[in-house]
Amino acid sequence: MHAIYVDSPAPDDTRRERLYDGDLFIYSPRPATRALCEFGRQMAEEAFAPHDPETAQEEMEVEDYAALLADLKPRFIHDPESKRLIQEMLTDLGCDPGEVYFDVPRMRTSTSHGYLTSGIAYAFHPHRDTWYSAPQCQFNWWLPIYPITAENGLAFHPRYWYTPIKNSSRTYNYAVWNATSRKEAAKHVKSDTRVQPKPEEDIELDPQIRPICEPGGLIIFSAAQMHSSVPNTSGKTRFSIDFRTVHIGDAADRRGAPNIDSECTGTTMGDYLRVSDFEHVPDELIEAYDTPTPAGVGV
């Protein structure tokens, strides 16, 4: 990783170039980002009432907690207000509404002290999103809903920007995952047996970077960044929102971060919606990225 930009005034073209080079961009809360996080917070507090979402794990059976999340998270994803707020946010942050596409936002949770780390509240090991069939031009946008600390946020592992690592991404195909594993998340409470791309050799977690921003703050990073969920020892559940974007011109020109170790097949390109009108990526571009599944994958 080369640099971390805080509240950079750089235009989107410059920001994308720097993200493709491994830099991070961090923004302070602004009205558009606050609005998205406030919407998520209200949904969470209504769902967990009368409990406080950050401490509800202390008062609920884990099976009931997982069932609540299995209802809450899809409702947040599919609520039209979530997409509208993303639309406003990306426009406010300088993205071209006709060129930038986004996928639906997810509400993530990271419970404290291993209360629930599988299935609907999966605690992500060190990984690149490009292991999960994401294009090299994808950016990840991450926002905390409640205050975070160094004990419950995100960690980035910068030594692996240029250093490949043996991993199992060759076994992953996005279409197969959607058909066989994603819908089963809520069933995995005590453990998670779903096959996901993981490192196949030891990773040195240090040096690592743990950016801290206020609720409604924003971290943007390349899908090729090696990152992980910090093991939560804070005593509070971390609630966050994330979504992804691609620039259609960059996708068509195959511009993006270097691919040093991703071997997955399939593509997430069919998920993205144009900021201006929520239209999908053109079929011919989806097909160009949709690499075939090797024999045996997903069987």
Average pLDDT in the chain: 92
Q: Which of 194, 195, 178, 170 is nearest to 294 (CA)?
A: 170
Other CB atoms within 10 Å distance of the CB of residue 107: 21
Q: What are phi and psi of 102, to 5 degrees?
A: -135, 155
What are the Cα distances from residue 249, in Å, to 101, 256, 266, 281? Answer: 11, 11, 20, 11
- Please determine, for residue 196, whether its predicted confidence score (pLDDT) is greater than 90: no
Bridge partners (DSSP) of residue 215 are none
For the record, the structure tokens of 233 come out as 């020892």
Fold observed for domain 4-289: Jelly Rolls (2.60.120)
Domain edges within the chain:
4-289
CB neighbour list of residue 54: distance below 8 Å, 6 or more residues apart: 146, 236, 237, 239
Answer yes or no: is pLDDT of 199 > 50. yes
How does residue 144 score in pLDDT terms, banded at 50, 70 and 90?
very high
* Contact status, residue 36 vs residue 86, Cβ threshold 8 Å: yes
pLDDT in tens, 84-137: 999 999 999 999 999 999 999 999 999 998 888 765 655 568 999 999 999 999
Please tell me the predicted confidence (pLDDT) of residue 106. Answer: 96
pLDDT at 66: 92
In this prediction, residue 299 has a pLDDT band, given cuts at 50, 70 and 90, of very low
As a whole number, mean pLDDT of residues 252-277 equals 97
**In sequence order, what DSSP letters do the residues of 118-155 get, joined into one string?**
SGGG--PPSB-GGGGT--TT-EEEEEESS---TTTSEE
